[in-house]
Structure formats: C-alpha cells, structure tokens
Structure 1
C-alpha cells in the first residue's frame, strides 16, 4: 500500500505565488519519512494535505490506488490516517487512558476488549500503568507526546502523520520519540511521515524531503 501525491500544487490566492507546485512523490509502508524545511516554507500545509485536513489547489492524493476526493475525505481521515500534533491536543484534565479512550469513542472503532487494547497501546509507547491513570497535566512533555502517539496508534491506521512532534522536547526525549516512530514504521509496517525543522530528526529517518525555494528535494 502506497500513499501518492501527483502534481500537487498549493497557493493561497495567487496561483503565481505558490507554496509548492507539481509535486510528485510516494510514501511506502515500513518507512519513516521526514519533511524538512524552515518555518513558513509550506511543509505543514503539505502535511495537512497528506492528512486530509486541507485540499490542494491542483493534483491528486491517493492511497492504495484510490484517489482521495471530497466524497471520501471523511472516510480517509477516520479509517486510514492518524495525526500527532506538536501541541499534543490532549484533554489535560483527563488521564492518559481516558484521552485514548475518547479517541476510540469518536472514531467508533470497536474492540473485543477495549480496555486491554488501550492499555496495550499506552504500554507500547513506554507508559507504565502507574502513569496512564494520572491526569495528563501531571505528565512531562515527553510523556504527553507518548500519549498523543498512543492515541494515534490505537486506531491501527496505516498512516501516522506527525507535525513537529519533537519541537517542545529535550534532546534525550527527542531521540526516544524518534526511535518510537521508527519502531512503529519498521515493526508495525506503517507509513510514518514527520514534518520537522530539526536536521537531527530528519537524519534518523529512512527518507528525507527538503522543501526550499518552493520545491521538494529528495535527499535519500
């Protein structure tokens, strides 16, 4: 299964003042991709298109050979792609467990043993049982990011998209989070796409795209 963009173009109002134009790339399962670029370069907008949160001005997004159109955009977001945000977007008054449980309820995904599945997802990202029932506000930044990743993982979507997931973390925690994403891609056979401005994060990825001068360059 492959996520593909074909001739993707995006601009705000003036077609001549585009963020990027005619982008053709593919993303395969089992790999970590980083999109590297300075603030304002358009990398987060590109990520929003991949996540189905925004639509390109021209071009096609497709997954597993099926074009993602307005008519199936909601289904794509609900069944195929999960997004991890830099600000975590957690309900801080809730526990880690309840944050993940809320995501499960919203998605309407059914599990034979919901509690065991949620606990397993949180354990997978390195959160012990004594932490998962604490209010999120009592957890460190790295622990909160792990909750956000568990929330994305529990739905078992094929694509995990992360927007600056290490932007608020120290170097040691950053390395741990990057290793976690690599494990998700390589062992769980997911497509993991990370937008970052940190070259160290990009260097740990399998494939790196750099967005500069309104063009994508594939580095490896």
Structure 2
C-alpha cells in the first residue's frame, strides 16, 4: 500500500485527483492539505510514502515547501503536480529535491504512473514537458534566471506576486531585512536596475504571463 499526502489549495482540483488515485486499490490518501503550513503538519503526523504537491500555494511557494520537507526527512519522496509547463519551474522543483514533475494538462494515467515511479524512487517527467526541458538544457541561449539560488527563486516568485518584504519574510521564515537584501541580490545577479525591468525579464522568460500580449 502506497500512502499519499495531497497538497493543493484548490479543493475541487484536489478532490478530482484524490478520486482518481483512490481508484487504485494499492493507493491510499492518508491526508490532504490546502497550504504549505498544513502540509508540514500532516507530513509530520502521517509520514506518507509520497507527497503530491502543487507549486502554487497561498502561504509558501512549492519549491520552498519541497526544501523544508526534505529538511525534515531527507528520504521524502515528492511528486510535483503543477499547472506550470515552463521548464524553469520544473528545473527549480527538481533542483530542490522533487523526484518527479507532472503537469495538470497531462493524461490521468500519467499522474498515476508517476506516483508509482516516485514511490519506487525513480525520477519522472510528464511527456508534455520533458522535450521542453531537454531543449532548454541543450539550448545555446542562457536563461539568466537559472543563476538564482532556490531561495532567490522563491523570493522572486513572491515579489512578482506583489508580496512585500514583510509578507515574504513571514512566508519564508526570514527577516524582512533578509528578504529585502535578497531582492537586491536578485536584481544584481540578473543585471536589472528596477522592479519594472525585473518584471519585463520575468515576462520574457515566461515566469509570469503577459496578459497584454494575449489581448
């Protein structure tokens, strides 16, 4: 029996893949969480075989959550199940220690198979994103965002989400001053002088969506 912890802030979405996974007699949902904070508590209480988590959570980024889960148990098996198809999100999640990355646009059987693979400590990528990651790795064009550390990536994600230094500090359990200093370090690493330039770069590398481009 493979015991699972599901982490997703959308209850309807979570219910959908809970039902999908529970159709298999050897998969059992031990706990669910809507936030990273709830996930950390459930992980401690339940000790699941596999954690299936979304990257977009209201209180903490999924990459940071992956890092903290592995701090609590270095052998934690984590599968990311995310709406993000950009290779940057997948590579950051894998760098943080996730064993697999499956997008929510994949076929249901891909998610089921990935759960079994991660439970067996195998690495897995859903077919719809694996070619993009391979192309990104082989590309001659360097993505400057790859230079960011995992912590810097999470701070950047929260900055782009409109969070203040105080809010970032609370989410990542760092001081507002550390969050502010990391903000400056990110701009220095990326070679931008203003937050407007930072946003433009994020749009260019598809870290955020340019709604105006779709109008």
Q: Which has more helix, going by share of residues?
A: 2
TM-score when normalising by structure 2: 0.29
Structure with the bigger percentage of strand: 1
TM-score for the superposition, normalised by structure 1? 0.29
